[in-house]
Amino acid sequence: MSELKAPIGAHAIHLCIDMQRLFTNEGPWPTPWMERVLPVVVALAERAPARTVFTRFIPPVSVDDAPGRWQAYYRKWPMVTREHLDADLLDLVPALRRYAPPAQVFDKSVYSAFAAAGLLPYLEQHDINTLIVSGSETDVCVLASVLAAIDRGYRVIVVRDGICSSSDATHDALIELYTKRFDVQLELVSATEVLTFLPASWA
């Protein structure tokens, strides 16, 4: 039986959160699971690159450039500010970078994808009502983006095997949260199911 609540319509995009070199073993914030889920994310992106949107997390130049309590955050992680970080680590991982363009890339300085300038106008311009979500991390930027999408009334389909975290415990806790607390507003499905039930026009 399908876990999808309804067929995926033509007004859907794949929203891929922060699959950057910054979060690989090359960077200061390694997410070991990223390598495991990358083939799943690649499969989603290559199915329809023009229907894929990537976000990138972009830290401030310096600690003093961060607003409010973000300064305390970057005092803990000064090596991630752009005055110290290798700028190439902000890129998408190579396996995904090749899809942009035609995929769109939006940069943000905080957790939620909806803080990225231009994302919401892009979704509205293309009459998007459904977001198929993959990326990193389950319990931080993916969580913030999913909750923001729910608040805005989007249909949210989270790809269970296409999200990752640096913490097994909080990843598992969020999977349970997504399933039990947001069961009406969120669908948690496998990439295989998503790819199987995408409409023929989604290409």
Q: Is the pLDDT of residue 99 over 70?
A: yes
Give the pLDDT mean for 116-143: 96
Question: pLDDT value at position 144?
Answer: 97
Give the pLDDT mean for 172-183: 89
Q: Give residue 2's pLDDT band: very low, low, confident or very high (50, 70, 90).
A: low
Question: pLDDT value at position 200?
Answer: 82
Domain ranges of the chain: 12-60+91-197
pLDDT (tens digit, 9 = 90+) per residue, 131-150? 999 999 999 999 999 999 99
Print the SS3 string covering the chain. Answer: CCCCCCCCCCCEEEEEECCEHHHCCCCCCCCCHHHHHHHHHHHHHHHCHHHEEEEEECCCCCHHHCCCCHHHHHHHCHHHCCCCCCHHHHCECHHHHCCCCCCEEEEECCCCHHHCCCHHHHHHHCCCCEEEEEEECCCCHHHHHHHHHHHCCCEEEEEEEEEECCCHHHHHHHHHHHHHCCCCCEEEECHHHHHHHCCCCCC
Top CATH class, 12-60+91-197: alpha beta
- What is the share, in percent, of the chain residues with pLDDT greater than 90? 83
Question: pLDDT value at position 167?
Answer: 86
Give the pLDDT mean for 19-35: 92
Q: Is the pLDDT of residue 189 over 60?
A: yes
Question: pLDDT value at position 1?
Answer: 40
Question: pLDDT value at position 179?
Answer: 87
Q: Is the pLDDT of residue 56 over 50?
A: yes
Q: Is the pLDDT of residue 114 over 50?
A: yes
